[in-house]
Structures are given as structure tokens and as C-alpha cells.
A and B are shown apart, each in its own frame.
Chain A
């Protein structure tokens, strides 16, 4: 979590290659082993090439997946070239684009810092203070992720019908996306070595200065990663801003798509949006720097102490209470209200059942594809890291950070122009999901492969399994829990996906999100409520998984 710490879209130094034991001198059998069972030091050139040879098929698979992932980007460049500079210039340098840029910029500049403050405060209260019910509040701080952003918006627009514009956008964005910051920050807080804080106190710093001078700087990585994730979601979000009438690039692209299909105007807006994503990615790399914040030294960190809030308990309790009310209370009350208003009539069971079945199918099939596609990449990044692997992984992350609307637009154009039989097929929509959510699967898989020692793979090989089977019977088996967690996260993303699904899904598809969107578009909020309810109900267990996973990654 935390896909969060942990679902963060980063390239960072990977775990070091696990060095195997040197060969035992008197072990005659080692001389007879198969190449895959090569027990020589990995540093030796011969051994390296042998390992690569045995894993070249995996490398090939990873390269193919990465090249595939680059399609949307290549496509945007291609469209720009094809459109010609003059048209591009008129479509990009116009007041409307400026307007959208200002909107998007203001949104990010306002919503991200507010989310940071809120998340850090909540994380500190739930992880480092004796706040009553800290565990419950911690979980409730993750739970808003179970509610699709457009359902948040739907709830707010019901509660405050005139809500619109920048501040409304900031409010709902913060509420919908702050958990992406809360998760890594809370995980980082848990991991901090309390000895550092003790030391700072012994050096004469009061509690507040300890926090600002020691704790906060060490949260920088988590804050950077989380902010990036929130920022990218703000850029990609569509439904949320439609409800509250706030135009961003993504809403404008969808408008253009609806008016002109895949015309150059839509594609050029997409190009600007992609540029924005790159700016965010670059900014994050810049701010993060090459810092290392890991524990210096060895030995187990001692258990952290929780700060006594004392008389401040009640005011402090107000923060999680208010946040929960806004982020969970409002949606639940609204959905409940519409469900009551709609009565039994809105439960069109055949329709809902079909949408539910289709959603589940797409979510699971997409999750499976994303996980399978991520496997070679994950394996390489743990077992054979190097410059090539970092480039390949970078491709996947960049595409994963692109808004769904851009990926979908690219796939629409590519399939329509080059591979029409694939247009609006199950295949294409699943590919889109895989491209969009590959990083989620990758992060979970990588973490679990890192925990499966390479020696097992070699042992299996030495026991006579050919490379593929050795891999299957050891590493893949052992990484199953991580794969399952990754799949769940991908499924969660797919379940709440709207724009790409609308643009790419095969004829006759109607997912829960699509049905919800279509009803709420017709202002039939009551009919939309059962869909919102089901989406939330299905996502809640997955966010629980996210919460548990982030705890485990922090070593608890």
C-alpha cells in the first residue's frame, strides 16, 4: 500500500542482488550442474551471461510488455507529427488551454498541500499519539479510497446542490484522495527509528522542534511519493469535476472526444496533459533528490512510544472525526438517502446483476492480465537489476501515471487505424486496464519476489527442474500472496474506472461505474444510488487489504 508507500509511482534503487553462497570446494556435484544451477558468483562475466541466457525469455517478455506500454506515448507524438506544427500550435496555444492549465495548476497547488497537512496530522495522531481508537481512525483514514471519486462528488452535490468551481474541486479532491498520502506517511512514521527522536530530545529540542527538525524531514520521501500519486489522480480524474462543474484537461478531453471522437484537438489536449504528468514526475524526482533516509546502523529499532495527548485529546479527536464525517459520512448518508427515496423500485435486479457480473469479470480478468504482464518485469527488477531493467520499469511507471482518458484515446486511434478487428473488444479494454494499472501489480509482486530467495530457484534447478518449471515451483508459488494483493488493487482500480471503460468497452458492456454515470447524468440520482452502494461495498474489503498490507510492509 501501502500500495501506497507502496503504490507509488517511482523509480528508486531496488533491493540489492542477493548474493548466493560461493561454491563449496569439495562438492563434486556442483561441477556437473546445469547452467541454470550455476552457483558461481554473479560478478563473474561467464556466470552473468549464463544467468541471462537462462532468463532471456523473461527479459524478452519484459521488453515486449514495456514496448507495448509505450504505445500511448508514441501515439501522441505520432499524432502531433501527423497533425503538423501549425495545427498543433493553434490547438495548443489558445485561451481555452490556458484556462484549463490555470484550473489544473490551481487545483494541484491547493489540493496537494492541504492533503499533505491533513495526512501528516492524521498519520501522527493515529500512529504516534494515544488518541482513543487510533486503530479505528487509521482504518477510517484509508476507507475513503473505497468510494470512487465521482461518488464523493455525487454525494456532495446532493448535499450542497450549488457546489461548484475551484474550492469545491479542492474540497472533494482532498477528501477523495488524501488516503494516498496518508498510507505512505503513516507507514513511514511507523518505520521511523524512535532513537532519533529520543536523541533530539536529549539534545535539548522540545517536542514540536523534534517533529519539525527530525520527524518531518524523514517523512519527505513518503510525502513526495504520496503527493505525486495524489497529483496524478487530480490530473486524471474526470467524474469528480464534472459533477461540480470544474473544467480540467481531462474533462476537456472527454468533451472533445464526445464532440469530435479522436480529433486532433482532443489529442493535443492529451499531449498537454501528458506534459503536465511529466512535469509532476520530474518535480517529484527533483524534490525527492538522492536522499537516503533509511536507518543508519544496525540492530532492531525499539518500539515507538505514543505521545500522551492529555487535555488535547478532545480537540485532536475532532480532526479524524470531522475528516471521517466529510469523507465517509457524507457519501454514506447521501447514498442512504437516495436509497430510501428510491425505495425498492431502484433495485432493478436483472440490470444491476448484469452490471455487477460484467464489472467483476472485467476487474478480475484485467487484474489477472496486469499481474501476468507484470511478472517478468518484477522478476527482472529483483533478480537481474541493471540499467536496462530500470529503463523498462520506467516505461511502465510513466504509462501507469497517464490518465485513463489518454491511454484510451490512444488505444481507440491505434485500433481504429491499424487493428480494427481489435477495436472495442474485450482484448483492448483489458490491455488498457493492464497498461493503466500495471504499476500496482508490479509493486506488490516485486515486494514478494524480493522475499523469495534466489537460492530456492537454484535449488529447484539443481534438483533437475528446467528453468521455467524451477521458476514456477519456487518464486512464483512464493509470490502468490503478493500477486493476490496486487490483483486486488488492480481490480479495485478497474471497478471504479470510468473514462477508459466508456471509450473502449465492447458493445453491450455496462459496468457499475457506467450505469452509475449514466443515471446520474440523467439526474436520476436515486437510480444511481444502488450502483454507488455496490461499488463502495465491494471496494471496502479491498481497502482493508490495502491497510493491512501497509502495516505489514512497515514490519508490524
Chain B
């Protein structure tokens, strides 16, 4: 026991020498990744394999990263920022922290999947859906619009994950489409009507188990689970709102290079690769089941084609995440 302290200290030192470097990689680029870890990992690995440039991923969420980057300002260690939704990109852009995306990269993505400013670019897309339990709901009992879920008849019957950036992006679309007053009212009723879960996957799992009839989530959770065991989605059916409804919102996942990046060339190359053939092909063949947005890039054939979703037109640069969290905090959802 006498030497236990020194043994422990020695062990700590030894492990430190082995592991320490992995904790503080300073070669290659740092990507603040709010996308699904598995997708970003595939991108990073593909990119590194092709270019030899090392990528260090820091995983987190849209909102905490965007706020963090703003807080970090010019000293941010990040080179690239990847999100699941647009509002986070808009926040960073509003603070003037993005470098313009290379023209070659922008050219790889259609206009509708990038902001007019060209400060960042769409890298993938996802559609809002109403996932429901088919043993509990028939197709004719489904809500026609996202706004219908505020109806008293839906009280206690639907779920969402309000703390997630996904749902907050949907709310930001609602805000952009219907205005602040209508959004605030809807959120207030939502607080009474819905059941909160943490994470869209958990919402789907609950729907599948029949704990709740339906939930507002994104489309790919269903396909991802189906591709695995289907254990959490075998009773789940997807309802697309379509008709330019706020509930048919297609959220653009963005990628941008930070103005403060110390490796701008490598960072731009990464973004180019992600929006190019290699990166977009990962979306088609991988397990993410998100929509590909590159010109000529195909999404996974299992998905309902992006063009058929009748999504409302929203300028991604205008989505206001700060206002959304304020409204949701005021409504008691956060």
C-alpha cells in the first residue's frame, strides 16, 4: 500500500504519454460537428483517406456549438462547423465569423440548398415528419397541418423533443412562416398538449411502443432503425404534411469554414469534399438516410424523393435560433 500512490502516479503518467496526444491533436483540422457522429465520422475518414489531412471531430449539438463559436470569437479552435439544421449556421453567420465558401464548393450545390450570402453551404437535408403508431392511428385520423397539433383534441397524444435543435429548427420555420405572435401562441398550447422526450430517437421509440400516438421528428430515424433491427420502428408509420405546411419544413444541414481558421485551405477542401461526389455518396450508401443535396447527387432510394415533399420556401439565412429559444423558454418548454 505504501507504494500505491507512486504506482498510481506512474500509471497516470504512462497512460498520459500514450493517450495524451489523442486528446490534443494539433495537426489537421478541427471540425465542430453537430451532425450525427456516425455520418461525420464517415465523412472525416473518407476525406482523410483521399487527402491525407487529419480531421479531429468534436461532437456536440447545433445550438451549443453555434453559441460556443460566437463566444469563442476569433480564438475559436474550430476550422469547420457542421450542423444538422440551418439556424445554428445563421447565428454564426450573423456574428460575422464565417469565411466565404469557395466558389467551386458553392457551385456543387443548387441555390435552394444554400443561403444567398454564400457564407456557408448545405451539406445534407432532412424532412419534418409526423411519426405515428399505426396500431393506434389510422391514416384518416392524422393531423392535416403541424398547427392542428395545437387543437385540444390532440392533448396528451403527441410527443416531441423540444430541447433538441431539430425541433427548434422546425419552430424557427414556423416563426419565419407564421410570425412571432402565432408561434408564441402555438408553443403555449403545445406545452399543454404534448409530452416531452429527450431526443428524436426516443420519441420514435415511445411511439413504436405505443406510449404515445405520434411525434414530430425528422424522417431518417425511421429508416435508420429499419436498416438495423427495426425493433424501435416496426409499429411506426411516417406522415409527411406536404402542402407547404410549416410541418413539411425541410431543414438544411450546413457546413461552413470559420474566418479564424488557421488551416483555411484544408478546411475549404473538406467542405468541398463533403458537398462533392464522395461526401454526397456517403449519404446515399451510408446509414444516415439524410437527403443528399449536391448537384446530381442521389439520395438513398428508400426515401421519398426530396422534390415530392412540397416543402415551404424558407430562406435558411433568416432562421432565428435566438428568438426561438427565447419563445420556447417563455412558453416553459425549456
A and B touch in the complex (CB under 8 A): yes
B67–A255 CB distance below 8 A = no
A521–B199 CB distance below 8 A = yes
Note all chain B residues with C-beta closer than 8 A to A524: 228
1/0 per residue, CB under 8 A from A, across B84-121: the answer is 00000000000000000000000000000000000000
Give, as a whole number of angstroms, the nearest-CB distance from B17 to chain A: 9
1/0 per residue, CB under 8 A from A, across B303-328: the answer is 00000000000000000001001001
B12 at the interface (CB under 8 A from A): yes
A260–B30 CB distance below 8 A = no
Bound form: Cα–Cα A251–B18 in Å:
35
Note all chain A residues with C-beta closer than 8 A to B56: 507-508
Flag the segment in A105-113, A188-196, A356-364 that touches B: A356-364
Question: A245-B197, A360-B15, A506-B23 are known contacts. Are A161 and B163 too (CB-CB below 8 A)?
Answer: no
**Closest residue on chain A to residue B78 by CB atoms:** A507
Note all chain A residues with C-beta closer than 8 A to B334: 96, 252, 255-256, 259, 265
Flag the segment in A272-280, A377-385, A476-484 that touches B: A476-484
Note all chain A residues with C-beta closer than 8 A to B70: 261
Which of B16, B67, B332 lies in contact with A99, CB distance below 8 A? B332
Interface-centre pick from A255, A354, A481 (highest chain B CB count, 10 A): A255
Bound form: Cα–Cα A255–B167 in Å:
13
A95 at the interface (CB under 8 A from B): yes
Give, as a whole number of angstroms, the nearest-CB distance from B149 to chain A: 19
A145 at the interface (CB under 8 A from B): no
B139 at the interface (CB under 8 A from A): no
Which of chain B's residues 148-170 have a Cβ closer than 8 Å to chain A? 162-165, 168
Bound form: Cα–Cα A252–B334 in Å:
7
B37 at the interface (CB under 8 A from A): yes
B1–A484 CB distance below 8 A = yes
Question: A421-B75, A523-B205 are known contacts. Are A162 and B211 too (CB-CB below 8 A)?
Answer: yes
A323 at the interface (CB under 8 A from B): no
Bound form: Cα–Cα A247–B163 in Å:
12
B278 at the interface (CB under 8 A from A): no
Give the interface residue-count category, chain A. 35 or more
A417 at the interface (CB under 8 A from B): yes
Which of A95, A161, A483, A506 lies in contact with B332, CB distance below 8 A? A95
A-B contact count (CB 8 A): 159
B196–A247 CB distance below 8 A = yes
A483–B199 CB distance below 8 A = no
Bound form: Cα–Cα A480–B9 in Å:
12
B179 at the interface (CB under 8 A from A): no
Note all chain A residues with C-beta closer than 8 A to B244: none
B59 at the interface (CB under 8 A from A): yes
A83 at the interface (CB under 8 A from B): no
A508–B58 CB distance below 8 A = yes
B20 at the interface (CB under 8 A from A): yes
Give, as a whole number of angstroms, the nearest-CB distance from B302 to chain A: 19
Which of chain B's residues 40-63 have a Cβ closer than 8 Å to chain A? 56-61, 63
Which of chain A's residues 480-515 have a Cβ closer than 8 Å to chain B? 480-481, 483-484, 487, 502, 506-510
B168–A481 CB distance below 8 A = no
Note all chain A residues with C-beta closer than 8 A to B36: 522
1/0 per residue, CB under 8 A from A, across B1-34: the answer is 1111110110110011011101111000010000
A263 at the interface (CB under 8 A from B): yes
A480–B163 CB distance below 8 A = no
A389 at the interface (CB under 8 A from B): no
Give, as a whole number of angstroms, the nearest-CB distance from A342 to chain B: 10
1/0 per residue, CB under 8 A from B, across A243-284: the answer is 001010001101111111111010000000000000000000
A242 at the interface (CB under 8 A from B): yes
Which of A161, A259, A265 lies in contact with B168, CB distance below 8 A? A259
Note all chain B residues with C-beta closer than 8 A to A96: 329, 332-334
1/0 per residue, CB under 8 A from A, across B199-219: the answer is 101101110010100000000
**Closest residue on chain A to residue B30 by CB atoms:** A507
Note all chain B residues with C-beta closer than 8 A to A502: 60
A556 at the interface (CB under 8 A from B): no
Bound form: Cα–Cα A258–B20 in Å:
27
A388 at the interface (CB under 8 A from B): no
Which of B6, B16, B59, B63 lies in contact with A361, CB distance below 8 A? B16
Question: A252-B334, A477-B2 are known contacts. Are A361 and B20 too (CB-CB below 8 A)?
Answer: yes
Note all chain A residues with C-beta closer than 8 A to B22: 354, 357-358, 508
Question: A242-B198, A483-B5, A518-B59 are known contacts. Are A364 and B15 too (CB-CB below 8 A)?
Answer: yes
Which of A91, A416, A509 lies in contact with B23, CB distance below 8 A? A509
Which of A255, A417, A424 lies in contact with B163, CB distance below 8 A? A255
Which of B18, B30, B201, B330 lies in contact with A522, CB distance below 8 A? B201
B68 at the interface (CB under 8 A from A): yes
B71 at the interface (CB under 8 A from A): yes
Which of chain A's residues 402-422 have a Cβ closer than 8 Å to chain B? 416-417, 420-421
B64 at the interface (CB under 8 A from A): yes
B264 at the interface (CB under 8 A from A): no
Note all chain B residues with C-beta closer than 8 A to A257: 64
A426 at the interface (CB under 8 A from B): yes
A260–B15 CB distance below 8 A = no
Bound form: Cα–Cα A251–B67 in Å:
19
B280 at the interface (CB under 8 A from A): no
Give, as a whole number of angstroms, the nearest-CB distance from A497 to chain B: 16
Bound form: Cα–Cα A423–B58 in Å:
13
A261–B16 CB distance below 8 A = no
Which of chain A's residues 507-543 have a Cβ closer than 8 Å to chain B? 507-510, 518, 521-524
**Closest residue on chain A to residue B65 by CB atoms:** A261
A302 at the interface (CB under 8 A from B): no
Question: A96-B329, A96-B332, A508-B23 are known contacts. Are A480 and B4 too (CB-CB below 8 A)?
Answer: yes
Note all chain A residues with C-beta closer than 8 A to B185: none
Bound form: Cα–Cα A510–B6 in Å:
27
B163–A361 CB distance below 8 A = no
Question: A357-B15, A523-B201 are known contacts. Are A484 and B8 too (CB-CB below 8 A)?
Answer: yes
Note all chain B residues with C-beta closer than 8 A to A423: 72
A94 at the interface (CB under 8 A from B): yes
**Closest residue on chain A to residue B69 by CB atoms:** A261
Bound form: Cα–Cα A505–B59 in Å:
11
Question: A357-B19, A481-B1 are known contacts. Are A260 and B332 too (CB-CB below 8 A)?
Answer: no
Bound form: Cα–Cα A335–B167 in Å:
31
Give, as a whole number of angstroms, the nearest-CB distance from B291 to chain A: 19
Which B residues form the contact surface with A (CB < 8 A)?
Answer: 1-6, 8-9, 11-12, 15-16, 18-20, 22-25, 30, 36-37, 56-61, 63-64, 66-68, 70-72, 75, 77, 162-165, 168, 195-199, 201-202, 204-206, 209, 211, 225, 228, 232, 322, 325, 328-330, 332-334
A-B contact pairs, 13 of them (CB 8 A): A96-B334, A257-B64, A258-B165, A263-B325, A365-B12, A477-B2, A480-B1, A480-B4, A508-B24, A508-B57, A521-B201, A522-B201, A523-B204
Which A residues form the contact surface with B (CB < 8 A)?
Answer: 91, 94-96, 99, 161-162, 242, 245, 247, 251-252, 254-263, 265, 354, 357-358, 360-361, 364-365, 367-368, 416-417, 420-421, 423-426, 477, 480-481, 483-484, 487, 502, 506-510, 518, 521-524
